[in-house]
Amino acid sequence: MAKSWGEHLVDEEPRGRKFADFKSWLRGAVLLGATWLLLRNYIAPMPSATNSRCPQVEPLVLRSTKELEIMEDYLKSGTFKNKSIERLSGAVQIPTQSFDDLGAVGEDPRWDIFYSFASYLSKTFPILHATLQVEKINTHALLFTWPGTNPKLKPTVLMAHQDVVPVPDSTVAQWTHPPFSGFFDGKNIWGRGASDCKNQLIGILEAVEVLIEANFMPQRTVVLSFGFDEEISGQEGAHHLARFLLKRYGPHGVAVIVDEGAVNIESWGKNWAIPGVAEKGYVDVDVTVRMPGGHSSIPPEHNGIGVASELITLIEANPYEPSLDDENPYLSLLYCGAEHAPTFPKKLKHLLHKRSHQSSTCAKKNKDTLALEAAKAGPGIKYLFTTSMAVDVIHGGVKTNALPERTEFTVNHRINVGSSSKAVFHHITSLAGQVAEKYNLTLTPFNGTETPSSIMLSARDTLLEPAPVTPTSSSENRTSPFAVLAGTTRALYGEDLLVAPGIMTGNTDTRYYWDVSEHIFRYGPGWDKEQIGLGNIHTVDERVGVQGHVDTVRWMVGFLRGMDQAEL
């Protein structure tokens, strides 16, 4: 007859030692289990190929012909490099500045410089102009169409803008080389627009022209869309272009859009391409303080300028907190860093693991903690997931001996992904209400009413909610535009370069194209590893490295070919 478990303990000798051994084993098992549960919460497991949060696309292999192979060799040659330098330098020399106070197109003569730029492009790219359909939208916006052989395929749209930020006369002497010289120093091309973004515009045109010369016949229609007032919000250029394309191709009738945007970077011990797949929102809030005037020899304790200053101080003292919404691409980049980067911060990795395994009760606390920790990397990172606000313009008073009756200032906001203009309006209304109550002023927020002794808030018509987020995943049997972009990038720069979703703090002309395509990327593919940042855009000594520019052309060629053979 079999003995029970208890009988075995009674029969075996020595009884006390055996029972002690069992208790010791049991304590060890409990301790081991508890240790594992603890470590599981602090150590993020290495993802497998099947559960990767940041899978990397293989470098894209393109179908080729002898003529395309010859073209590829030509793009690597000194002959092409020299021609490309000449073309970009010439484009920079045309001062296509867009000013905030420009009048109507056709009436303000400062728009006329864009006639000169269009003429330059026509002379510089004669083959492209002879092959593609050229249309001018609202006088100066340029639309080029290269019809594909398969009209069932949605087109590819490449974008750039013709205009540049003005160069103040007071800064001209500070430039190493004159701002519209297009000077080439053997490595860089200098001048306003060299890196924002005539380099991308010229690179796109060069790519299309060499493809035409190589007898490439696209199956998928290629569209080039170049606005002319992006630096002043694009309402005359991109706005009209987007409406034109929407009418021609229908809602989401375009397969993919690539515009200027984020550049390749080095971070956490790895090189990254981070094409922007989202944009923050935008709103300018005008604040008007109305208070009684009078002679300045009998001043009140606080006049309108003083009250406005107090409100500005209160606004700056109450910034928005960092917040990483689930849809914010920077969160995806963090997961990519945790998975692939050798020097990714351990604390961030721990917080990411907690976030991915959190319960609903502690979700907000974990999200906030992660955002605050990630924000320690500096303002350039923090404002990728924080609503920003900056007082950029102020006016008040008309005479030294007269009290100001009307003081105005403007607060520029860039709205975080996951937030909205409504949240911004609530925040600034709350702050303005505190000052209004203190000085017995009427508060009229966002209703168009202006009264004496009041603080009025109003939003400009450039209001923009955060952009829809471009999908970055692929189905089992279809390739996504993001995969084509990633594969093109890794084919050009090698598999050591990782690709992850990105976001920028600013906005591009794509703000008008949301209904044209759901696949929008803001990406500057030219990579000059020795040039840190964006090449001094919007400031003195703007420039671009020639090798980065040549790589822009090579990337555009590869991307157009990749989209042409993609099953979309």
Q: What would the pLDDT profile of 190-216 be if each residue is shown by its tens digit?
A: 999 999 999 999 999 999 999 999 999
User: How does pLDDT run across 253-303, given as a tens digit for each residue?
Assistant: 999 999 999 999 999 999 999 999 999 999 999 999 999 999 999 999 999
Residue 108, annotated ligand binder? no
Residue range 223-234: mean pLDDT, rounded: 97
The helix (run of H) or strand (run of E) holding residue 374 is: helix 363-374
Torsion of CA 377, 336, 340, 367, to 10 degrees: 60
Contacts of 342 (CB under 8 A, 6+ apart): 268, 269, 270
Residue 568 CA to residue 530 CA, distance in Å, equals 36
Residue range 151-176: mean pLDDT, rounded: 97
**Residue 176 pLDDT > 70, yes or no?**
yes
Residue 163 designated active-site:
yes
Q: What angle in degrees, to the nearest 10, is found between the helix axes of 546-565 and 198-213?
A: 50
How would residue 357 be classed by pLDDT, with cut points 50, 70 and 90? confident
Beta 388-396 vs 406-415: how paired, if at all?
antiparallel
Residue 161, annotated ligand binder? yes
- Whole-angstrom CA distances from 420 to 407, 417, 424, 466 are 27, 8, 7, 7
How does the average pLDDT of the chain come out, rounded?
90
**Residue 1 pLDDT > 90, yes or no?**
no
Give the per-residue pLDDT at 81.
98
Q: Is the pTM of this model over 0.85?
A: yes
How would residue 40 be classed by pLDDT, with cut points 50, 70 and 90? very low
Give the per-residue pLDDT at 39.
38
Nearest to 267 by CA among 195, 333, 356, 351: 333
Q: What angle in degrees, to the nearest 10, is found between the helix axes of 113-124 and 78-92?
A: 170
User: How does pLDDT run across 72-122, given as a tens digit for each residue?
Assistant: 999 999 999 999 999 999 999 999 999 999 999 999 999 999 999 999 999
Give the per-residue pLDDT at 365.
67
Residue 196, annotated ligand binder? yes
User: How does pLDDT run across 521-565, given as a tens digit for each residue?
Assistant: 999 999 877 765 566 889 999 999 999 999 999 999 999 999 999
Residue 408, annotated ligand binder? no
**Cβ pair 472, 480 in contact under 8 A:** yes
Beta 276-279 vs 265-267: how paired, if at all?
unpaired
**Cβ pair 505, 238 in contact under 8 A:** no
Give the per-residue pLDDT at 50.
52
Give the per-residue pLDDT at 528.
79
User: How does pLDDT run across 407-423, given as a tens digit for each residue?
Assistant: 999 999 999 999 999 99
**Residue 12 pLDDT > 50, yes or no?**
no
Exposure string of 449-477, with b = 16+ CB inside 10 Å and e = fewer, is: eeeeebbbbbbeeebbbbbebbebebeee
Give the per-residue pLDDT at 505.
86
Give the per-residue pLDDT at 536.
86
Give the per-residue pLDDT at 477.
57
Give the per-residue pLDDT at 415.
98
The share of the chain scoring above pLDDT 70, in percent, equals 88
Give the per-residue pLDDT at 149.
97
Nearest to 344 by CA among 495, 505, 498: 498
Pick the catalytic residue from 206, 209, 229, 230: 230
User: How does pLDDT run across 518-533, given as a tens digit for each residue?
Assistant: 999 999 999 877 765 5
| Least-confidence region, from 23-37, 331-345, 479-493, 494-508 | 23-37
Residue 185, annotated ligand binder? no
**Residue 363 pLDDT > 80, yes or no?**
no
What structural domains does the chain harbor? 66-278+468-565 (3.40.630.10), 281-459 (3.30.70.360)
Give the per-residue pLDDT at 216.
98
Q: Which of 316-320, 368-372, 525-529 has the highest mean pLDDT?
A: 316-320
| Unique residue bearing structure tokens 């394309």 | 245
How would residue 475 be classed by pLDDT, with cut points 50, 70 and 90? low
Residue 488 CA to residue 342 CA, distance in Å, equals 24
**Residue 366 pLDDT > 80, yes or no?**
no
**Cβ pair 437, 311 in contact under 8 A:** no
How would residue 506 be classed by pLDDT, with cut points 50, 70 and 90? confident
